[in-house]
Each structure stands twice: as C-alpha cells, then as structure tokens.
Amino acid sequence: MADIIHKLKKSGLLGMSGSCFPAYLKWQQVKSSRAKSKYVICNVAEGEPDVSKDYYILRNYPKQVISGIRLALKTVGAKTAFIYIKKKYYRKLKRKLVRLTHDFPIELFEKPDGYLNGEESALLNIIEGRSAQPRQKPPFPAQKGLYGKPTLIHNIETFYHIDQIQENRYKLNRFYCVSGKANKKGVFELPFDFTVRDILTITGNRPKFDFFVQVGGGASGAIMLPEELNAPVKGLGSIIIYDKKTTNPLSLMRKWAKFFVEENCDKCAPCREGTYRILEIVKKPQLAPKDKTDLNDIFNAMEKTSFCPLGRNATLPFKTAIKKLL
C-alpha cells in the first residue's frame, strides 16, 4: 500500500472529472494531514447531457472501482467513503452496489437531480444536508472538505484507473463516450493520447456525411469541424456527432442555453443573468452583428467573474458554434 502514491505519480494519472489535476497530489495532501477524521468520495454525478461513461464503468467494473476506493481509504487514513451517485444510476444499480459494499465502510448516497450538484464542493454541501451551491476555493476539499475535514474526491473513472495502477494493469487508457449521429454509439476504452479522428475511425464512427462534433460534453463541450479532428480529447471523454445539413446551429444553442438557465444555482449574478441573456439572444430567428457583439461581452463577463466553473465554462460551446457554424 505504501507505494501507491509513488505509482500514481509515476503513472501521470490525472483526474477524469475534467479538472485534469494530478491524482497523486490529492492523495499526498489528504494523507499528510494530521486530522483525526478524513473522508473519501467517489463522484458518479455525471450531469453532462449525452454522456454516459460513468454509468458504463459503474455497471461493468464496480469491483475495480470499489477496490480503488478501499485502497484510498487505507492509504490516506480515512474511515468512511461515499459513492455519490446520479439518481437514475442509483436506482438501476443499487442492489449490486449494496452487495459489493456491505462489508466495507462505504456508503451509497443518491445524488439529487441537478447538473451543478455534481460539482465537488456543492456535493459536499449536499451530503452535509446544506444547500446545493458551490463553495469558495481555496480551501480545497483535500484541505477542508466534508464536515470541514480533509476529503479525497475523485471521479469514478479515476478510481477505476487507480485499481489498474495498483494491479500493474494500467495501459495509459481512458474511456470515451461516442454519441449523436454515430453508427456505433457506446463507451470505448482507448489510449489517452488518441485524437478525435483516431477515436472516430477506430470505433467505426467516422461519418461519411458532412458533420461536426461537440467534444467534452453535451452542454459545455466545444464545437470542432472535420479539419480540426487531429486534436486530443481533453476534459470529459465525450464526442457527440452532428449532421451539419440537418442541424440548426441556433436551435442547438437554444438547447444549451435552456439547460444552463435551468441548471445554474442562482448563486452569482454573472452566471444567472448571463445564461438568461444568452437564451434571450439565441431565441432570435438569426443573429445580427450586434447580437454577436453583445454575446461576446456576456461571455467575457461570465468567464472573468462567475463564482464557479459552470459560468466560466458555459460560454465555450456558444463561442465555438458562432465562430464555426454561423
């Protein structure tokens, strides 16, 4: 057990939630704390539309995930772990997970509906019985997390890879979810450094029609054109394929805007008012030059002043769609 942090460092494993923070640093921070109580949380919130890789892992590799959680408990000196699960997943897999965890100090926590409820500090508030809003950082959860104690939080995919690293089976792979107008929709485990083009080609999902993709999620992901597919997939391992001829860019933007208006927590004005104003503008039949200027001003304000990553990242799909599709 003692060398797992060294193994994590050597592997170069990054957090799979989209943060890309080195996993071993979190372990070091929590392990080195002298606090009497510590916690471990496996985040299976998965709130991005059209992304299902966390469910795939939980359904197919629960033993490996739980093994990774147990390893974390022993290594950092925590007594209790939580698996924080999206409500739909919880209801489908509860029986299996109860059987697998009943001998261990691992509690299942059914995540309330809500996109932002999966943000790591918001989920801490939820487990504590408080309002589902993000916390100010720093301090970070590894310093002051659940009930004010050092807390190790990882996405489910990270815990899966941690088990593989401990068993010397890690192949520098990650999971990718391919959806939308795909021939073979699904979740695929492939090398970490594969490009979007590699993934679409190897999985049999390279379209023969005029298309574009959204990479990184069905709401916050960036739009990429066919000539841009030599880039690696960063953040969430998600690729959504769209038929360019049958997809109305403004309709797509309205869908994103409605999602962000409904799912923001109303805590900060830049995100709350910004997403509402974006929706007002993209509801128009077409965008005039002034509309694009106004949107850019809103994007800048949200990116610079939003309290949490939702507001700072919500602008990306709109910016890339306007630039590449309109």
- Give pLDDT tens digits for 33-66: 999 999 999 999 999 999 999 999 999 999 999 9
> In whole angstroms, how far apart are CA 226 and each of 54, 182, 241?
27, 14, 11
Q: Which amino acid is at 178?
A: V
Report residue 171's pLDDT band, with 50, 70 and 90 as the boundaries.
very high
Q: Is a pLDDT exceeding 90 seen at residue 110?
A: yes
Of 72 and 308, the one with more pLDDT: 72
All structural domains of the chain, each given as residue ranges with its CATH number in brackets, are: 4-166 (3.40.50.11540), 173-243 (3.10.20.600), 249-325 (1.20.1440.230)
Average pLDDT, the chain: 95
Segment 277-311, tens digit of pLDDT? 999 999 999 999 999 999 999 999 999 999 988 89
State the residue for tokens 């993209």. 282
Give the pLDDT mean for 72-99: 97
Cα three-residue angle 92-95-100, rounded to 5 degrees: 120
Q: Residues near 293 by Cβ (< 8 Å), separated by ≥ 6?
A: none
Strand partners, 190: 174
User: Is pLDDT of 168 > 90?
Assistant: yes
What does the pLDDT read at residue 145?
98
Rounded CA gap, 161 and 158, in Å?
5
Q: Exposure of 40 by Cβ count < 10 A (0-12 exposed, 13-18 middle, 19+ buried)?
A: buried
**What is the structure's pLDDT at 58?**
97
Q: Is the pLDDT of residue 235 over 80?
A: no
* Backbone angle region of 150, left / alpha / beta, with phi > 0 → left and psi within -120 to 50 → alpha: beta
Least confident of 92-106, 226-240, 272-286, 287-301: 226-240
Share in percent of the chain as helix, strand, coil (round to 5): 45, 15, 35
pLDDT band at 234 (very low <50, low <70, confident <90, very high): confident
Q: Is the pLDDT of residue 2 over 60?
A: no
Q: How far apart are the first and last CA of the chain?
A: 54
CB-count exposure of residue 128 (10 Å: 0-12, 13-18, 19+) = exposed
pLDDT band at 1, cuts 50/70/90? very low
Query: What is the predicted pLDDT for the residue at 15?
Result: 84
Q: Could you please report the per-residue DSSP string of 202-257?
A: HTT---SSSEEEEES-TTTPEEE-GGGTTSB--SS-EEEEEETTT--HHHHHHHHH
- At 16 the pLDDT is 82
Percentage of residues of the chain with pLDDT beyond 70: 99
Position 128 scores a pLDDT of 97
- Which pLDDT score is estimated for 236? 84
